Amino acid sequence: MEVDFAQWYTDIVKKADLIDYSSVKGCMVIRPYGFAIWENIKNDLDARFKATGHENVYMPMFIPESLLEKEKDHVEGFAPEVAWVTHGGSEELQERLCVRPTSETLFCEHYANIVHSYRDLPKLYNQWCSVVRWEKTTRPFLRSREFLWQEGHTVHATAEDAVEETERMLNVYADFCEDDLCMPVIKGKKTESDKFAGAVSTYAIEALMHDGKALQAGTSHYFGDGFAKAFGIQYSDKNNTLQYVHQTSWGVTTRLIGAIIMSHGDNNGLVLPPAVAPVQVVVIPVAQHKAGVLEKANELTERLKEKFRVKIDDSDNSPGWKFSEYEMKGVPLRIEIGPKDIEKNQCVLVRRDNREKTFVPLDNIESEIERLLKELATSIYNKALKNLENRTYACKTVDEINASLAENGDGFIKAMWCGDEACEDKVKELTGVGTRCIPLQQEHISDTCVCCGKPAKHMVYWGKAY
Amino acid sequence: MEVDFAQWYTDIVKKADLIDYSSVKGCMVIRPYGFAIWENIKNDLDARFKATGHENVYMPMFIPESLLEKEKDHVEGFAPEVAWVTHGGSEELQERLCVRPTSETLFCEHYANIVHSYRDLPKLYNQWCSVVRWEKTTRPFLRSREFLWQEGHTVHATAEDAVEETERMLNVYADFCEDDLCMPVIKGKKTESDKFAGAVSTYAIEALMHDGKALQAGTSHYFGDGFAKAFGIQYSDKNNTLQYVHQTSWGVTTRLIGAIIMSHGDNNGLVLPPAVAPVQVVVIPVAQHKAGVLEKANELTERLKEKFRVKIDDSDNSPGWKFSEYEMKGVPLRIEIGPKDIEKNQCVLVRRDNREKTFVPLDNIESEIERLLKELATSIYNKALKNLENRTYACKTVDEINASLAENGDGFIKAMWCGDEACEDKVKELTGVGTRCIPLQQEHISDTCVCCGKPAKHMVYWGKAY
């Protein structure tokens, strides 16, 4: 990991059986173990969306070229990287269809059909699907030509309601990342040059990986009424006057799996947060050929299944081989149980993150597992938080940024900015780091822009990004 | 419904808010109410798949043309109806990619990568996704260019294991349709002319709709080692000899929603089986402006949420308007609660299927709801079964088939068959009915083929189909 982070990452996605490559460049096979992580992410997030009043729908995967072109900024942002369907069977289509890179245009067309009165608002829709963006450089989970995601699309009566929704969903994402992925994030606003094609403003959560590079883990966009005007989404208000709706969209992707790997993994492999681990506890019988061991291990597994995602490995492989296997796969807790343990009515619990061993009486093993899973979650969160804090550097000038990079390597740079895009570009050119976000929680580093020395408007997080 | 079944169907999918049309012909927007039915179907089936040892994965949505062509029968069956991607962004692709119409070729490629030893077998994979088939004639849910489905793909060490899996999944589908969709089905084998492109044999479950037309509700295919040979999927057996795997695939689609509509719907709209109904009980306050009514109705709703999918409608619309609305949407039970009911500590429960009213003391309302939901499920199952039985006609000759069609209209025809494809075609030509399946449960109608008079091999269900 310390020597070649990129290779370490690629090794893990393969060795932990998360993905297989397919014959289409940039499209991956998500294997059962990888997909089960995504299912857990999905189930948890979906419950959070439903608890905040959202409903799931399914939109077509194809967008006619003329529909994609309806909103000017949007088509400019996406057209260069879409896959085009030109033929159905042996016939050439009259109009090209793109495979959705994102579904704003489809939701807008639908909302224009179904929204008529203020009574119809808000509409809070979400969909889980795959989307396609024809990227040149691809990496499993982090940047792939096809990826799985959810995209929320909402329409509201007022700008205030839409802004509130944008912030609400940013917070839902941040809470999910912190609670369930044990990954601290910075909540902030993207700069103008970095916002979503067609948005008034884009908010994001940014996390810091082991290697000091930033990863945008989720985005939430406020659209104002720009799309509504382009697509004619209007409603009659209480005074029977026609008004345009105000709109948002927000999404997270399978990229979160990449974030988990690079936040918590180590030289033995994955370390999975208990909330999304496909297997939370693996039971490994020791000296399993001896009388009673397998029976007891199976009995324990069945008992634990009522409370945890648990699996027994009673294959012919040696215990040592199994220990490595489940360390590679990041299973949070391992139970070792052999003849001596059975005699003493106990077993051994080993934490994945620090390999700490605890001897636990079988009688109250459930509460011990619960305690250790919680401790592990807190512990890997704190470790990731410490990484983020230790690798965040305040800089007042471009020279200080370069000095920090030379001395400390990659990380977040906190520095002031005048708000001018020219300075953003120049810092990038001179240091290699770009703006990540204008954090909602502002700090004062200095009075003047890190680049031009004019009065500063914002404190900005800068960094290199995945 | 009796006058124009097709129009009745189209009205329901729109009026019950199941779908909206999109600007791409044959691609539909599945609206929240329709999608919630699919989510319930999916959750229930997924649990059944996992209980039988299957794991979920995700394969790419694109198949390179050369990969699709690897199995001869398969490409002949599917190439004429696929959507072709020819450009990524502004660049023409070196090889065309089709949007998956089904994923056998992708699973085969992956299995060839990951299966090496008998220890790796079986692999029991499933995926939930959307697929595309460029159909000429389309109808919401029944035949659309894009549809949602699940596709199971499994590889086994022996032919026996694969055949057993094919039958197991056919039974899982049949049980699901009967238990949860309240829809009786005929389990059978497709004839040679009707089997899946590349399969050794195709099994299907066939249901009979209100109008006497058959609907294929799910299929399960046995592939033998044909795909394994085309894709080189081999494993070392215990004697270290290379063997080809034996394979299956099986799927059901959003078509099941169409089947629900046409099995249980009536002239007032949808009738939903309780197991998949997004709302099982709707609470409608009567005289809701009177003191205490809304409070009590809300309190009741909250209480029932612990056990049922329940919703209150406290909008300004009249109770009569609401009754029609939830009848159209097929909500199994309606609760009416007004001032007089509250005085007597009771409410009124009304069944959607037969509109039967029951006055129920609030104290034990949960058990009454449970009882009525069960009764409704049994009752609509029996009604559908009666429709299937009443509309199944045994015929010994082609003339008898035509006479039955003239007298009874559409339905299942049970008739003997010699096994010759020419007879299958001729019956279709002379009567308009085709073979639906060779039922697993055979009966003896006569000794000779309904068409040619030669000795019969099978009893076959014939009919017109969606």
ipTM: 0.96
Count Cβ–Cβ pairs < 8 Å, chain A vs chain B.
150
At position A118, the amino acid (one-letter code) is Y
Asked if pLDDT for residue A65 goes beyond 90, the answer is yes
Contact B24 A89 (CB under 8 A): no
> Per DSSP, which regions of B209-309 are E strands?
214-224, 234-236, 242-244, 246-253, 281-285
Residue A74 has pLDDT above 90, yes or no: no
Where are chain A's structural domains? 5-264, 281-373, 392-463
Q: A16 touching B, CB under 8 A?
A: no
What is the residue type of B301?
A: T
**Bond into B140 cis (ω within 30):** no
- The residue in chain B having the minimum alpha-carbon distance to the alpha carbon of residue A119 is B315
Residue A393 is which amino acid? Y
Q: Residue type at A198?
A: G
In CATH, what number does B392-463 get?
A: 3.30.110.30
Domain at B281-372, CATH homologous superfamily: Anticodon-binding domain (3.40.50.800)
**Beta-carbon contacts of residue A386 (< 8 Å; ≥ 6 apart):** none
CB contact under 8 A, B55 and A67: no
A41 part of contact set with chain B, CB < 8 Å: no
Q: How far is CA B388 from CA A356, B32, B406, in A?
A: 64, 31, 18
**A62 at the B interface (CB within 8 A)?**
yes
| A109 → chain B, closest CA residue | B22
**Full DSSP string of A291-331:** TTHHHHHHHHHHHHTTTS-EEE--SSS-HHHHHHHHHHTT-
- Residue B253's nearest CA partner among B140, B117, B363 is B140
Alpha-carbon distance of A344 to A367, in angstroms, equals 19
Question: Is residue B106 classed as helix, strand or coil in its secondary structure?
Answer: helix
Per-residue pLDDT of chain B (466 residues; tens, 9 = 90+): 999 999 999 999 999 999 999 999 999 999 999 999 999 999 999 999 999 999 999 999 999 999 999 988 889 999 889 999 999 999 999 999 999 999 999 999 999 999 999 999 999 999 999 999 999 999 999 999 999 999 999 999 999 999 999 999 999 999 999 999 999 999 999 999 999 999 999 999 999 999 999 999 999 999 999 999 999 999 999 999 999 999 999 999 999 999 999 999 999 999 999 999 999 999 999 999 999 999 999 999 999 999 999 999 999 999 999 999 999 999 999 999 999 999 999 999 999 999 999 999 999 999 999 999 999 999 999 999 999 999 999 999 999 999 999 999 999 999 999 999 999 999 999 999 999 999 999 999 999 999 999 999 999 999 999 9
Do residue A129 and residue B130 have CB atoms under 8 angstroms apart?
Answer: yes
146-175 of B, contacting A, C-beta below 8 A: 146, 148
Q: A110 touching B, CB under 8 A?
A: yes
Whole-model pTM over 0.95: yes
**B431: CB partners within 8 A, 6+ apart:** B398, B401, B402, B405, B462
Q: Which residues are bridge partners to B92 per DSSP?
A: B87
Give the chain A residue nearest B95 (alpha carbons): A24
B113 to chain A, closest Cα gap in Å: 8
What pLDDT was estimated at residue B74?
A: 87
Task: Decide if A5-264 and A281-373 have a common fold.
Answer: no
Distance CA A453, CA A434 (A): 18
pLDDT-derived band at A83, boundaries 50, 70, 90? very high
Res. A309: pLDDT tops 90: yes
At CA B347, angle to CA B345 and CA B351, rounded to 5?
Answer: 160
- Interface contact flag, B30 A84, Cβ < 8 Å: no
CATH number 3.40.1080.10 is the correct assignment for the domain at A281-373? no
Q: Flag whether residue A214 sits within 8 Å of chain B, measured between CB atoms.
A: no
Cα dist from A54 to A125, A152, A223, A283, B178, whole Å: 6, 8, 18, 39, 31
**Cβ-count burial B132-146 (b if 16+ within 10 Å, e if not):** bbbbeebbbbbbbbb
| Chain A contact set for B57 (CB, 8 A) | 29-32, 35
B60 reaches A (C-beta below 8 A)? yes
Average pLDDT, chain A: 97
Residues of A with Cβ-Cβ distance to B94 under 8 angstroms: none
Q: Per CATH, is A5-264 categorized as 3.30.930.10?
A: yes
Q: Indicate yes or no: CB of A61 within 8 angstroms of CB of B129.
A: no
Judged by CB atoms closer than 8 Å, whether chains meet at B58 and A39 is answered as no
Q: A417: part of which helix (H) or strand (E)?
A: strand A412-417
pLDDT of residue A335: 98
For B345, other C-beta atoms within 10 Å of its C-beta total 10
End-to-end CA distance of chain A: 17
A228 pLDDT band, cuts 50/70/90, is very high
Query: What are residue A3's phi and psi, to 5 degrees?
Result: -85, -50
Contacts of A167 (CB under 8 A, 6+ apart): A203, A220
Helix (H, G, I), strand (E, B) or coil at A277: coil
Helix axes A421-431, A398-408, angle to 10 degrees: 40
Q: Which of A39, A56, A134 sits opposite B56 (nearest CB)?
A: A39
Structure tokens at B167: 């039958």
- pLDDT (average), residues A286-312: 97
Residue of B31, B55, B99 lying closest to A32 (CB–CB)? B55
Query: Do residue A89 and residue B81 have CB atoms under 8 angstroms apart?
Result: yes
A110-169: pLDDT as tens digits = 999 999 999 999 999 999 999 999 999 999 999 999 999 999 999 999 999 999 999 999
Pairing verdict, β B28-30 and B19-21: antiparallel
